[in-house]
């Protein structure tokens, strides 16, 4: 299985801050990586697909980059509604695997 390692596991930031989360794959996955947002008690929601493509309707403050084994997810200006846990997910190889999540809190 491809292991996906996110860091940090939790993060506290202020409204307006730039927030960055990293995801490292245990092997080369090209750009076969997606990012999801999960708010408390809800199902995950797709934000970024194919490493860097913004899903329709998702605010442009969210972005993704990277390829190979190292990926970055960025919120350019943190908003109160962005409080959630964020997950990366690879689909290069079965089984599909997810990162362990990054919990984002407002400082």
Contact residues for another protein (CB under 8 A)?
1, 32, 34, 36, 42-46, 49-50, 55, 87, 89, 91, 94-101
**Partners of 98 in beta bridges:** 89
For residues 87 and 76, give the distance between their C-alpha atoms in angstroms, rounded to a whole number. 17
C-alpha of 53 from chain center:
12
Q: How far is the CB of 57 from another protein (least distance, A)?
A: 11
From the list 80, 85, 81, 92, the residue with the least C-alpha distance to 34 is 92
Q: How far is the CB of 17 from another protein (least distance, A)?
A: 25
Q: What DSSP assignment string belongs to 44-67?
A: -EEEEETTTEEPTT--TTEEEEEE
Q: How far is the CB of 84 from another protein (least distance, A)?
A: 14
* CB nearer another protein, residue 11 or residue 46: 46
* CB nearer another protein, residue 45 or residue 61: 45
* CB nearer another protein, residue 42 or residue 107: 42
Q: How far is the CB of 34 from another protein (least distance, A)?
A: 6
* CB nearer another protein, residue 17 or residue 69: 69
**Partners of 11 in beta bridges:** 104
């Amino acid at each position: 299985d491809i292991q996906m390692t996110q860091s940090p596991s939790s993060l506290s930031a202020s409204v307006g801050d730039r927030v960055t989360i990293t995801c490292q794959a245990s092997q080369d996955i090209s750009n076969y990586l997606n990012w999801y947002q999960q708010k408390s008690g809800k199902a995950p929601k797709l934000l970024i697909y194919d490493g860097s493509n913004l899903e329709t309707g998702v605010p442009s403050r969210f972005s993704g980059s990277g390829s190979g084994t190292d990926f970055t997810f960025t919120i350019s200006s943190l908003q109160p509604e962005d409080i959630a846990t964020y997950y990366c997910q690879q689909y290069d190889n079965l089984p599909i695997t997810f990162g362990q999540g990054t919990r984002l809190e407002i400082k």
